[in-house]
Amino acid sequence: MRFFSAALVVLAVLVFAGWRVWSRANGRPASEALHQKIKVLVDKKPDLRPSYDRAMEDGVLTIGEARAILDERHLAVGSPFRRGGQFVPPPGGQEES
């Protein structure tokens, strides 16, 4: 019974700590450089404008919102295929149009 109680406490602590880390990462405002990259991407791809406008309703672009916009283009924040603000296609992958 002690083992079960200890395991339950450890699980609860891990869930709480994971939730705190996740909420801080997604709720934190995006850096100015990331915001500029998102703006450039939205200017190039007008189909992303509704998502960007929705994200900017509160006046702040968060990392989670930026990640959602990039996910629509199948890119990731910190993707190895984005170097110096330029898209670098993966080996054998399609180039961004």
Instruction: List, for residues 3-62, the tens digit of each pLDDT value.
Output: 889 999 999 999 988 888 776 666 778 888 888 988 998 998 888 899 899 989 888 888
Separation of alpha carbons 21 and 11, rounded Å: 15
Task: State residue 24's pLDDT score.
Answer: 67
12 domain-assigned: yes
94 domain-assigned: no
52 domain-assigned: yes
Q: Do the Cβ atoms of 69 and 33 come closer than 8 Å?
A: no
96 domain-assigned: no
Task: State residue 91's pLDDT score.
Answer: 56
95 domain-assigned: no
Q: Mean pLDDT across the stretch 85-91?
A: 53
Number of domains the chain is built from: 1
Structural domain that includes position 52: 2-87
- Whether the per-residue pLDDT at 80 is higher than 60: the answer is no
Task: State residue 60's pLDDT score.
Answer: 87
36 domain-assigned: yes
